[in-house]
Amino acid sequence: MSFDRMWADLAPVGRDADSGGYHRYTWAGADTDARAWFTGEAAARGLDVRTDRNGNLWAWWGAPGPGAVATGSHLDSVPDGGAFDGPLGVASALAAVDELRARGVRPARPLVLAVFVEEEGGRFGVPCLGSRLTAGEISPERARGLTDADGVTWAEAMEGAGHDPDLMGPDPDTLALLDVFVELHVEQGRALEDTVHPVGVASAIWPHGRWRMDFTGRADHAGTTRLADRNDPMLPFAHTVLAARALAEEHDARATVARSVIVPNGTNAIPSLVNAWLDARADSEDTLMAVVEGVRAQAEAAAREHGVGVAMTAESLTPLVSFTHGLRDRLAAVVGTRAPDARGPVLPTGRPPSPEGASRGGGFPPSTATGVPILPTGAGHDAGVLAAHVPTAMLYVRNPTGVSHSPQEWARPDDCHAGVLALADVLQDLLARPVGEAAS
């Protein structure tokens, strides 16, 4: 299968030799190389590759036009990320084109492969930035001014990569060409591992967001400043990290503080400033906001206690995404026409969730008529942004450990092949249906 060669070619791009993790950041070295890899693969297939006003890539099989069936994902990574989150959906899309051609499929309407820019927010902080811009869910002014860790703005970086940031903005014309979008993604939980199904279908994406917290104190000497005289922002910060964890437990939600900047970051100097980011997710918007407001209250109380200032600002917020049921069920029916694998136990319907699956945001996979699991996720995706504008669905490829956003992220080669075949089946089915039917 062409997937294997592509996967081997893409594997070294941005991989850290020590950790094995990936560092692909928008508008810079490895991400640019990965985009060039995609452009080369698409061009070698005779696809017409275009970069849109926001930097997303679109590779068209058939003349660009309305009624298009779209698939794709992203190539950027989180810091030291896994190989599969994003690239699996891109390489599978290219391999699905090969599979459809080998089957002799001649689409009566366009098929387009998309690569969305800055999905992880790994460089500029706002996730799904390319799809949000295209969907008009973030203003181009705000996006242009976003900065990376070195203070480089999105506008400067985009211009440095040869694109005009002044052209950025909502792109209803491109969205209007899409009849349906399907994103294939590595599963980021291990619900499928407890089943005989290498491929599942998405039901929903939990509401989620990111909040920046600025704790402002006063720098001073670590040895000479009496404890009572300090305004140490590290203390309310530490309290807030633990409070977030406790609130997530209380609400059966997720709250994570995984990134911080300490100024000036000297061993023997009380910091003047701590910037930290809260990532919070829950199964409903009310629960999400209860967690976030709880964190805010705790941060403010702890800051007061220590004579420190605190400000908490939302950087991104994605509402609950519930994928269109008709489309979701159609995908499950198509995927279910292939025999499940012979590996692993077949679970009786109604088995309680595995603790791992539940703790990774997977939960119990409800069975469809074909047995193909339909899964909610706590992970964000460009599909979740597009879903408000275009009938959208997702396929998940089984991940044996459920680990993601880590060098340990993995999917078996056989399961990746099953993903390509499932995607090809789904695209073939959609291409053969009347335009507009996916919305029904």
Contact positions vs ligand GLV (CB under 6 A): 120, 127, 379-380
Interacting partner of 271 out of Mn ion, ligand GLV, none (Cβ under 5 to 8 A depending on kind): none
CA 138/CA 152 separation, integer angstroms: 19
Nearer to ligand GLV, 299 or 379 (CB): 379
Nearer to ligand GLV, 363 or 380 (CB): 380
Q: What angle do CA 210, 135, 55 make, to 5 degrees?
A: 90
CA 431/CA 440 separation, integer angstroms: 15
Nearer to Mn ion, 92 or 368 (CB): 92
Least distance to ligand GLV from the beta carbon of 74, Å? 9
Nearer to ligand GLV, 96 or 379 (CB): 379
Nearer to ligand GLV, 148 or 329 (CB): 148
Least distance to ligand GLV from the beta carbon of 405, Å? 7
* Burial class of 44 by CB neighbour count within 10 A (0 to 12, 13 to 18, 19+): exposed
Interacting partner of 127 out of ligand GLV, Mn ion, none (Cβ under 5 to 8 A depending on kind): ligand GLV
Least distance to ligand GLV from the beta carbon of 59, Å? 23
Least distance to Mn ion from the beta carbon of 318, Å? 13
Interacting partner of 86 out of Mn ion, ligand GLV, none (Cβ under 5 to 8 A depending on kind): Mn ion
Nearer to Mn ion, 72 or 86 (CB): 86
CA 354/CA 227 separation, integer angstroms: 47
Site residues (CB under 5 A) for Mn ion?
85-86
DSSP-assigned states of every residue in 336-367: TTSPPPS-SPPPPTTPPPPHHHHHTT------
Q: What is the CA radius of gyration of the chain?
A: 23
Least distance to ligand GLV from the beta carbon of 191, Å? 16
Least distance to ligand GLV from the beta carbon of 84, Å? 11
CA 376/CA 392 separation, integer angstroms: 14
Give the DSSP letter of residue 434. P
Q: What are phi and psi of 205, to 5 degrees?
A: -120, 125
Q: Is the peptide bond before 264 cis (omega within 30 degrees of 0)?
A: yes
Least distance to ligand GLV from the beta carbon of 256, Å? 10
Interacting partner of 373 out of Mn ion, ligand GLV, none (Cβ under 5 to 8 A depending on kind): none
Nearer to ligand GLV, 139 or 256 (CB): 256
Q: How many helices (H) and strands (E) are present in the chain, helices listed first?
A: 13, 15
For residue 212, the cross-strand partners are: 277, 313
Interacting partner of 380 out of ligand GLV, Mn ion, none (Cβ under 5 to 8 A depending on kind): ligand GLV
